[in-house]
A = this chain, B = another copy of it.
Amino acid sequence: MEIIQAKHLGFCFGVKRAIKISEKNPDSQIFGSIIHNNEEIKRLENDYHITIKQSIDEIDKTKKTIIRTHGIQKQDKEELDKKEVNVIDATCPFVHKSQNIAEDMSENGYQVVIFGDEIHPEVKSVASYANSTYTIVSSLDDLKDKIKLREIKTTKKIALISQTTKQIQKFKDIASYLIELSHEVRVFNTICNATFKNQKAAVELAKEVDTIVVIGGKNSSNTKQLFEICKKHTTSYLIENEDELNRDWFKETKRCGIVAGASTPDWIIKNIIEKLEKFDF
């Protein structure tokens, strides 16, 4: 069985940066999961004694506090500052950009429309900067519903931004629908290039192989999207680590593709490839 990696896969710039910041600050605590990958979080806990805190009340003021890649909500940041917590910011610079756009547009009288998942920490964080003048839409249909319900008023000028890990075509469809109805739509393409490159490489690879192994956190937005994309083209499996690999999946496989989300560390990819090579079909 031949094993072929996608041309682009794994860690994006923002995640690499956040992990480096964490490794440089052992014995610190992270406010929220630093990235959507449990394996990598375990490694940071074991090797660097870094702990995860899920709420501000749990924060230990005697230790440094790292802000995770997806960013935190504006009110939480203000709360940390008020408590004089020693904060180290590992928010992805692209998320910071979205936060700044949301804040700026809201202050300039725009209705901010965010294309994203409302429960995703990045979206929660970006939305919190729009000072209550925002609406989150998960799809074109959701947008249409929210216009009907007048949660989005097309008579107002609109600023449109996207969760960094969304698909560009869906974002363009949403923009297009708004453009027809509104006088002014200010479209900020905040979709991250790394996500786009990983998706494009996944499509190319999926067309060439019999089976695809998608590696990444099952709570990772961009990993889930990679899995959706691969499934359309070939038999695909989503796993978080090598223990989940099942020998039977590959009995008929001649060419096996490897794809990994933006929050998947190289060492997990390496472990999985090594185990796959041992199957030796």
Listed in ascending order, the chain A residues whose CB lies under 8 Å from chain B are 168, 171-172, 175-176, 179-180, 182-189
Q: What's the nearest-Cβ distance from chain B to residue A46, in Å?
A: 40
Beyond the given A182-B189, A184-B187, please list 11 additional residue pairs across the A-B interface where CB-CB is below 8 A.
Answer: A171-B179, A172-B180, A176-B176, A179-B187, A183-B189, A184-B186, A184-B189, A185-B186, A186-B186, A186-B187, A187-B187
Q: What's the nearest-Cβ distance from chain B to residue A44, in Å?
A: 33
Q: What's the nearest-Cβ distance from chain B to residue A199, in Å?
A: 13
Q: Are A188 and B180 in contact (CB under 8 A)?
A: no
Q: Are B179 and A172 in contact (CB under 8 A)?
A: yes
Q: Which of B168, B179, B182, B183 has a CB less than 8 Å from the CB of A180?
A: B168
Residues of B within 8 A of A189 (CB): 179-180, 182-185
Q: How far is the CA of A265 from the CA of B179 in the complex (A)?
A: 31
Q: Which of B171, B182, B188 has a CB less than 8 Å from the CB of A183?
A: B188
Residues of B within 8 A of A171 (CB): 179
Residues of B within 8 A of A172 (CB): 176, 179-180
> 15 A-B Cβ contacts within 8 A?
A168-B180, A171-B179, A172-B179, A175-B176, A175-B179, A175-B187, A179-B187, A183-B188, A184-B186, A184-B188, A184-B189, A185-B186, A186-B186, A186-B187, A187-B187
Residues of B within 8 A of A188 (CB): 183-184
Q: How far is the CA of A176 from the CA of B184 in the complex (A)?
A: 15
Residues of B within 8 A of A179 (CB): 171-172, 175, 187, 189
Residues of B within 8 A of A187 (CB): 175, 179, 184-187
